[in-house]
Amino acid sequence: MIEGMKKINLLSRFGLAFIFLYHGFFPKIFSLSSIEVELSELHGMGEYAEVVSQFAGVAEIVLGILIIFLRKTLTPVFTAGGMLLLLLVDVAYVKPSLLIEAFNPVSINISGIILCCIVYLSHVEITHNKSN
């Protein structure tokens, strides 16, 4: 049973990391999205909005890497869950029209939070079974 939990944990970590790696690189670094820049501008970043968006992309990529490689700790997973929730609330506050777009933060952030929960639950199960 523990081997199955390890696979679930690893697969969930890869799924969660993929969200941060993809959304950190493509819409923020590779091809800076106008929506990303607009969200930064709505927070008063002004002329620095593009740089802030790209910096956020780098931070997301780093977090994605940490989720994959720091498997003995839940810190990057909790960080990811907190960020996903905070960013969802933030978008709902500063630009609620994005919540009903075809590709929106509701679907991706809630899915990411669910992956965080799966990583957490499987991690606890693995840790508990190792100590018994």
Q: Kindly report, residue by residue over 11-69, the tens digit of the pLDDT.
A: 999 999 999 999 999 999 999 999 999 999 999 999 999 999 999 999 999 999 999 99
Give the helix ranges, DSSP H, for the chain. 2-25, 34-42, 49-69, 75-94, 105-131
Name the residue ranges covered by the structural domains of the chain: 2-131
pTM of the entire structure?
Answer: 0.95
How far is residue 128's CA from residue 120's CA, in Å, rounded to a whole number?
A: 12
Mean pLDDT across the chain:
96
Q: 77 is written with which tokens?
A: 């997973």
Q: 113 is written with which tokens?
A: 């939070």
Say which DSSP state 48 is in. G
Is there a contact between 80 and 68 (Cβ–Cβ < 8 Å)? Answer: no
